[in-house]
Chain A
């Protein structure tokens, strides 16, 4: 009996590995292998064509001490993350609170607000370039109705990053849906109890809804932080010639890395950049994880 049991378990293990084999192969070929190669190459002067010479920490030192554009791109990226993450999070929560109410046409509203989240790619970026055009675009036209003289948006270095943040806010529907789903999961009895105590809508929102959805807020903040640091396509399409202009104001970290890797073919240098980014994102994620127990509320009080 024991023998057949262990034979069966071995058979299951064999089947298990057959089933997950595609992932294992993919992981080794497209993730683990590249990661190791990238870490090694970041200490070389690799440029695809010539041989690879070990240069020690030269790439890293160069980035930190000599490369002004590295700091510019890091600053641009931090600026973008610092504003876009809180704004989109608060926007998405506010929106989902509105959409969580019983209002005529609520289903239509929910569908409409989600629509921009599925629209991405060059078409949308081109649309926003036209909307933000200072002379012929819609946004300054509408601002003009209110007597506001709109800025030059993508042509003015002070407004380029805010422009991309506005664009991001438009497609807040994906996060909104996450929040909506979690708000609908909040137990009705909590609200009923609060009503008996005479709590109004705002008290109910701040004392019940908001604490109950903190796990989702946490998930959304962490993922949008990671996503925000990787902004690339928007800047590539919407900055002049894909170079990150005007005045390098849209030269985000990944865009600069892209230029180093695929325009200058400084592959080793670019891979050093990618590891610095990896470490920054990793540390920020860890800080988030550490801080989470202080404000993230899990049902049953199990704060782990």
Chain B
């Protein structure tokens, strides 16, 4: 009986979770007249796939996609390389001051982003980096507390004997990191890569702050501009939003295993 109630509750909840996404899809195919009709309809009267072409042509979305891909790719590379390198140092090299430094890593997670946002802007402005991609990409190459923490947890599970044995053979830490560390932490690296992809793809604040030139805009900013231009043309807006969300949805369905692993680790590796 309880199982049945549980199933019914979950099924009802699924409808609540999925209906906004259905509404988005449905609206994106409607004509403007149908969008404005009252009461609104759950299914489009006619499926206007051409809305997608019009949306794409209404703003330089191809350019925005390329821009977003460039930034996202570099951010993912930067995050994977720097965080796995740094985390190896914290997990597998015993050095003086390590614990103090790692405590600082964890402490930085508690600083609200806005406290450093304004001075960072000033710094990048002084460097002449406003209206370039540098402020969005360069910090990714210097590690982030959450990812260092996540990867360190994974490195901790590699037996020290393995590292010691490699050192006996005369391998340097660089070699061990590349040949043992990276391959053995693949699932965690995938997690970092996916999270950074999502973060960079969905980043709104960074591009909003640093990019003024329309040719440099990312998809997130492109959508925002679009909202003002077309005002209440919901069908095009929803088509655009869906296209921008699509890569995230696809990645989610292919890599959900890693998402779950990464999140589990957040709870302390239980």
Interface, chain A (partner B; CB < 8 A): 9, 12-20, 22-27, 29-31, 33-35, 37-38, 41, 48, 95, 98-99, 101-105, 109, 111-116, 118-124, 126-128, 130-131, 133, 135-138, 141-142, 144, 170, 174, 177-178, 181-182, 185, 201, 215-216, 219, 226, 229-230, 232-233, 236-237, 254, 257, 261-262, 267, 270-271, 274-275, 277-278, 281-282, 285
Contact = CB atoms under 8 A, between A and B. Distances in A.
Given A33-B123, A109-B10, A177-B263, A122 B116 contact: no
Contact of A113 (B17, B27, B201, B245): B17
A119 B112 contact: no
Question: Which 10 residue pairs spanning A and B have beta carbons closest together?
Answer: A26-B142, A19-B89, A16-B95, A34-B119, A121-B202, A123-B241, A13-B95, A16-B93, A185-B270, A23-B143
A114 B110 contact: no
Interface residues of B, number: 96
Nearest to A97: B6
Interface of B: 2-3, 6-7, 9-10, 13-14, 16-21, 23-24, 27, 35-40, 42, 82, 85-86, 88-90, 93-96, 98, 101, 104-105, 108, 110-123, 125, 139, 141-143, 148, 172-173, 177, 198, 201-205, 208-209, 220-221, 223-224, 227, 234, 237-238, 240-242, 244-245, 248-249, 252-253, 256, 259-260, 263-264, 266-268, 270
Nearest to B142: A26
A35 B115 contact: yes
Contact of B227 (A121, A126, A281): A126
Contact of B148 (A16, A23, A215): A23
A294 B9 CA distance: 33
A297 B269 CA distance: 17
A26 B264 contact: no
Contacts of B249: 115, 118-119
Contact of A138 (B7, B14, B20, B244): B20
Contacts of A274: 112, 114-115, 117-118
A192 B59 CA distance: 61
Nearest to A222: B110
Contacts of A127: 20-21, 23-24, 238, 241
A113 B237 contact: no
A122 B241 contact: yes
Nearest to A107: B256
Contact of A29 (B142, B227, B264): B142
A60 to B, nearest CB: 15
Contacts of A178: 263, 266-267
Contacts of B204: 121-122, 233, 236-237
Contacts of B94: 9, 12, 16
A279 to B, nearest CB: 10
A285 B111 CA distance: 11
Contact of B14 (A109, A118, A270): A109
Nearest to A270: B118
B76 to A, nearest CB: 15
A127 B201 CA distance: 17
Nearest to A273: B114
Nearest to A169: B16
